[in-house]
Structure 1
Amino acid sequence: MTEPTQSPAEAQEPHGHGRHLRFHLPYAHLSSPFGDDWFALKAEAFARFFGTPTFLIAQTFIVMLWVIANVSGMTKFDIYPFILLNLAFSLQSAYAAPLILLAQTRQADRDKAHADADAQHREELAHAAEQRQVEMAVQTEKLATLLEQNTKLTELTRQLSERIEILTSEMHRKFVAANP
């Protein structure tokens, strides 16, 4: 299976399929050592096809037909010991091995870029968490200061209320004593 290619604009799309790749955008400009041209992409797709059940079943079916056709006498182009079939397998192996290595190298490059992006994202998250802790400590200190001021004001209000009550009582006594 090949990974879907995606433009940076598609990766930033809020409801798009590639939204999870937004942290990998800084690495979108990187190309693999083998390039991202038509040949490299097709070679990688072909190499990936080698490992699929479809390829293995198709190859088995073709080899069975080849052997049955030549053993039964329907054709005589590659009689036993099937030298042409061995040559075809050798040719397939000669191309398959480098193509598989190419696909593995390209995948390793993608994995490294994704790992780098993930590590950078984790660092950014850690830095943001540290900033939030510092801001939280500052806010906690401000809240403690405000609470202390509120406590002092409440105490002052209580004292003033008591003083007002005493003064009111004294004034009441003086008014009552002056107006018998």
Structure 2
Amino acid sequence: MNNTEIDQLLFDENAHLEKLHRIVKETLEAEQLIIQNLVNPPLEVVTPGQKLSDKVAQFGGSWRFIILFGIILTGWITFNVLAIGHYKFDPYPFILMNLILSCIAALQAPIIMMSQNRQEEKDRMRSENDYMINLKAEMQIRSINQKIDLLLEEQIKTLFDTQEKQFILLQQINDKLDCILTNPEVHEHTLVCNGHE
């Protein structure tokens, strides 16, 4: 092997290493961006109205609310049925109670919808985070595939180079055998044919 071949091998090896370094650098930069978005999500700004709607929705959708509301309605009905005279502030058919229930339903529905809208926004952000995690995994797989392709390419090149050298050696052996067969008087330890020793 002469100096030119050694220089070419060193150049090829450096080019191979530069490709690997570039792939690793690009992968790390892309992963860093995704990790930055996952670790430091945008801060959620919550107004007092949104806090109130979350608390109302949380309380309005609980068993505590249902039980408490059932107790209040039962007490209301019982008191107005059993009370005497002017103590009956809402006699049967309980028009005041129906009015209050309608008002509660009319106010509670939009408040719960506001809270649900905020929950949908949180779910959307969670979905985006899941997408980012999946994207990160896909980028890692793509990077691994690129590295494997690069290594296979290098391995195939090395195999071709080895086969080429083997072919040259076989050609030299064939030339020497031809020389032996054509010149049987030449001593087998000092073979000189066609410039090959």
TM-score bracket for the superposition, by shorter chain length: 0.5 to 0.7
Higher relative contact order (CA closer than 8 Å, sequence separation 6+): 2
Which structure's CA Rg is the greater one?
2
Aligned length: 145
C-alpha distance in 1, partners of 2:162/2:63?
75
Unmatched 5+ stretches in structure 1: 1-21, 155-169, 171-180
Deviation at 1:130, TM superposition (A): 0.8
C-alpha deviations, 1:95-134, integer Å up to 9, x for none? 1011111011101111112212222322232122111101
The match for 2:79 among 50, 57, 69 is: 69
C-alpha deviations, 1:61-87, integer Å up to 9, x for none? 110111011101164121111122112
The match for 1:120 among 132, 137, 141 is: 132
1:106 equivalenced with 2:118 (yes/no):
yes
* TM-score, with length taken from structure 1: 0.61
* TM-score, with length taken from structure 2: 0.56
Paired residues of 1:44 and 1:103 also in contact (CA < 8 A): yes
Letter paired with 2:77: V
Letter paired with 2:61: G
Deviation at 1:138, TM superposition (A): 1.4
C-alpha distance in 1, partners of 2:143/2:164?
32
C-alpha distance in 2, partners of 1:103/1:48?
9
C-alpha distance in 1, partners of 2:129/2:51?
23
